[in-house]
A and B are shown apart, each in its own frame.
Chain A
């Protein structure tokens, strides 16, 4: 672990956590998507930092990650946000201050849970695993508290970024085929959700997911 890669690792992990918290705080869609792009790039940086130098195809994988998570997904979401129209303020189920407190609580839980992982792992990057878990939990929080369809998609991608980060930190990256398969699946899921959002927009006239309550027992 050369000092430079350690430095890149620290900044990337910090960026990941920061973007996650900011996403929870900011409520506008366009702002959120930008932060999501940033988070994708931070994840790519993390990928670069955790690969032992000289593994050429791993660098290619990191590039693909950056392209997928950093550029393609935000672009798609923004395009749908434009067509959908009222991209403005999305109502949140939980007011920001409570959101922040919950984020703090989940981060402590993440650190508590990750303690055995960190001690058990022999990898130098293991210390940063709690960051990945924290991002997963915060992503879940965004998903559960936002009523806007697109912000739910953002939440889902955040959860995925968190899991990717945990994977990179704890194992230095999954085998290439699996990594590619996962990325391909996530992109496909986002595409499906966006198509559904556009259809909901046509038939429900609003994409406030909280209104989707007709199917009940």
Chain B
């Protein structure tokens, strides 16, 4: 019995079980536990299938359909196996988290069954072996996530437009893929990926197919300018769903682009520029919007766009340096590491954001504060997540960006003119993105968890339930594990990368022969601990002689009142940046001043209101929507109910056919 076959059939059985349990179990804690457990099992079986595929299992599963010659086939590949593994891992953590988190609408039968379908969809997409299966699995993932985005439609009015944007953009992604992959299948006259890869076809048609497919995958990955659904859908979906979407579903877009580079290895040079053209703006624009928004989940959504941008840059560098295999392999490794590390820390961040929302009822950073005292575990996870997202030492983000930097630095000028011009620019953008990410996550962690609570909700925050805490801690341990021992991860990835790309050094460190660089995080940690020990000892000795004293009033140049309104909020924290990047963000500010009736000079009140809208959406997409509405209105005037006009249509059609057929 082929191992892969066993894993996938087990996965299918568990899906049926999960759906049955979701529909049959009694509402309340009973259903949450049972359905959550079933989804946990589902994601677990997916992880097993991913692991089996990653470690090079063979096998082929094909399900017949009523149409001749159109079977749905699944074949394990190492690359697909990795992405199933990542999605499965994130699925396990999110299912565990959901058991404690869901209540009300997100604990309904439809939500649980949609959650199971969503996980199952993501497990199958990387294993699909031909165009039709890939598209069907893609839509299974789409329907699962669309239903989940709408769960809280009764609570907030903003859920419906967000869900609509999400559904339409997901369908745009599906149609772009259908076009792109269809053209590729036509160019190599077969729908199976193996044949497309073997055909090595090239020419104008293949380029069109490639660009369409890349745009389709970029829409799902949330790359600028196709990212508008991401900052709308993620804040509205329940946190465990937005964690799964951000950490796992977005990666299916990345898997697609990597698949394309494997199906069409010898593409022309400008293909890499297309991917780079999507990557650079995504990284910069994504982190810029993240740094100025004050809604925590919207911040995390935009940071996903930024990380997708970095991954696309890594893939583009891999495509730009075919003449230097060492560098191309390092860049590919960087892309994989960025994907895995983003999956880990974004899950931790979204789950902690959900726990904060669960505890304080607040989503806006301006109304949080002082959570470190009230929600220690969540703050700890948020700290680790923010460290990972800001790519600071000892976290998975650091290892991933380090690999990307090594690839960029060592791809020196010997390649062609194209890379010479592009590489310094890419280096500058990656560095600026890293800098802004620093500010963003300092703001996110600092404003949310330090100093005094800025709203009654934050003041009465309570810690999350046990299952949520376990899930969050597991996610943050993932971030730290990859950060500390990247060597173990490299051993797993060897089946995907070309031989000799990276070696795991003794103490879990990482060596890149291609770029002759080595990183040993455990050594850095050891030295840091060795340094801090004497300092802590002296601090402890000093503390015994001069104990700390508490006073109700801070210094603040002698005038501070203890009200929490005196503290900086997330909006004010990002105000200098908004001013520096004003033309890219186009903030709309208005100050309304109400004077006292008696005299013009005395102010009664002054209100400052700043509105930051997504420029891509307000300038690009809104115009398209208005155009479509005008087309709709024009269409309605044509169909105005006058029978003579209808008869004229038929008559004109008759005459046109008569003359057309004349010939």
Looking at the complex, which one of B639, B642, B654 makes contact with A210 (CB distance below 8 Å)?
Answer: B642
Chain A 131-149 near chain B by CB (<8 Å), digits 1 or 0 = 0000001001101110100
How many A-B pairs with Cβ below 8 Å? 42
CB-based contact B644/A213 at 8 Å: no
Main secondary structure of the interface of A (DSSP, over half): helix
* A55 within 8 Å of B (CB atoms): no
Cβ-based interface call for B530 (8 A): no
Q: A144 to B644, Cβ gap below 8 A? A: yes
Question: Does B270 interact with chain A (Cβ within 8 Å)?
Answer: no
Interface positions, chain B 617-651, Cβ under 8 Å from A, are 635-636, 639-644, 647-648, 651
Q: Are A109 and B658 in contact (CB under 8 A)?
A: yes
Q: Tell me, yes or no, whether B557 is within 8 Å of chain A by CB.
A: no
Query: Which residues of the partner chain A approach B648 to less than 8 Å between Cβ atoms?
Result: 144
Asked if A209 is at the interface (CB within 8 A of a chain B CB), the reply is: yes
The docked-state distance in angstroms from the alpha carbon of A213 to that of B643 is: 8
Is A4 close to B, CB under 8 A?
no
Docked complex Cα distance between A93 and B641 (Å): 16
Say whether A143 contacts B647, CB under 8 Å: yes
Knowing A109-B659, A113-B662 touch, does A216 contact B654 (C-beta < 8 A)?
Answer: no
Residues of A within 8 A of B643 (CB): 209-210, 212
Say whether A145 contacts B644, CB under 8 Å.
Answer: yes
Given contacts A112-B662, A144-B651, contact A213 B642 (CB under 8 A): yes
Bound-state CA distance A143–B645 (Å) is 11
Q: Does A178 contact B (CB under 8 A)?
A: no
CB-CB under 8 A from A213, the residues of chain B are: 640-642
Within 8 Å of chain B (Cβ to Cβ): is A57?
no
- Interface size classification for chain B: 10 to 19
Q: A113-127 CB contact bits vs B (8 Å, 1 = yes)?
A: 100100000000000
Residue ID in chain A nearest B654 by CB atoms: A140
Please give, as numbers and ranges, the residues of chain A lying within 8 Å of B651 by CB-CB distance.
140-141, 144
In the complex, which residues of chain A have a beta carbon less than 8 angstroms from the beta carbon of B602? none
Task: Tell me the complex Cα distance, A147–B645, Å.
Answer: 12
- Residues on B with C-beta less than 8 A from A112 are 662
Count residues of chain A with CB under 8 A from any CB of chain B: 20
A70-B648 Cα distance, complex, nearest whole Å? 28
Interface string of A165-176 (1 = CB under 8 A from B): 000000000000
Which one of B644, B647, B654, B659 has the highest number of Cβ atoms from chain A below 10 Å of its Cβ?
Answer: B644
B644 touches A215 (CB 8 A): no
Q: Does B655 contact A (CB under 8 A)?
A: yes
**CB closest chain-A residue, reference B636:** A217
Minimum Cβ distance to chain B for residue A153 (Å):
13
Give min CB distance, B659 to chain A, whole Å. 7
Q: B640 and A210: CB pair below 8 A? A: no
Q: Closest CB of chain B to A115's CB: distance in Å?
A: 9
Interface flags, B192-212, vs A, CB<8A=1, else 0: 000000000000000000000
Nearest-neighbour CB distance to chain A for B214, whole angstroms, equals 38
Q: Are A215 and B641 in contact (CB under 8 A)?
A: yes
| Bound CA–CA A143/B648 (angstroms) | 9
Contact A109 B655 (CB under 8 A): yes
CA A212 – CA B659 in complex, angstroms?
A: 32
Whole-angstrom distance between the Cβ of B237 and the nearest chain A Cβ: 35
Expressed in whole angstroms, the Cα–Cα distance for A93 and B642 within the complex equals: 12
Judging by beta carbons under 8 Å apart, are B640 and A216 in contact?
Answer: yes
- CA of A198 to CA of B641 in the docked complex: distance in angstroms? 21
CB proximity of A165 to chain B, nearest CB, Å: 17
Complex: how many Å from CA A55 to CA B658? 34
Least CB distance from B657 to A in Å reads 10
- Compute how far the CA of A181 lies from the CA of B618 in the bound complex, rounded to whole angstroms: 62
Asked whether, in the complex, the Cβ of B639 is within 8 Å of the Cβ of A216, the reply is yes
Residues on B with beta carbons closer than 8 Å to the beta carbon of A93: 644
A217 to chain B, nearest CB (A): 4
Docked Cα-Cα span, A75 to B255, in Å, equals: 76
Asked if B636 and A147 sit within 8 Å, CB to CB, the answer is no
Q: With A and B bound together, what is the CA distance between A144 and B653 in angstroms?
A: 13
* CB of B465 to closest CB in A, whole Å: 52
Question: Contact at A144–B655, with CB atoms within 8 Å?
Answer: no
Closest-by-CB residue of A relative to B642 is A213
Chain B's closest residue to A110 (CB) is B658
Q: Smallest distance from the beta carbon of B112 to chain A beta carbons, Å?
A: 40
Pick the contact of A144: B635, B647, B658, B659 (CB < 8 A): B647
Query: Of residues A93, A113, A144, A213, which shows the largest number of chain B Cβ atoms within 10 Å of its Cβ?
Result: A144
Residues of A contacting B640 in the complex (Cβ-Cβ under 8 angstroms): 213, 216-217
The residue in chain A whose Cβ has the minimal distance to the Cβ of B647 is A144
- Chain B residues within 8 Å of A209, by CB: 643-644
CB-defined A-B contacts under 8 Å, sample of 13 = A109-B655, A109-B658, A112-B662, A137-B655, A143-B647, A144-B644, A144-B647, A145-B644, A210-B642, A210-B643, A212-B643, A213-B640, A215-B641
List the interface of chain A (C-beta within 8 A of B): 93, 109, 112-113, 116, 137, 140-141, 143-145, 147, 209-210, 212-217
Complex A-B, nearest 7 residue pairs according to Cβ-Cβ distance, in ascending order = A216-B641, A217-B636, A213-B641, A144-B647, A217-B639, A113-B658, A216-B640
Extra inter-chain contacts (11) besides given A144-B644, A212-B643, CB under 8 Å = A113-B658, A141-B651, A143-B647, A209-B644, A210-B643, A213-B642, A215-B641, A217-B635, A217-B636, A217-B639, A217-B640
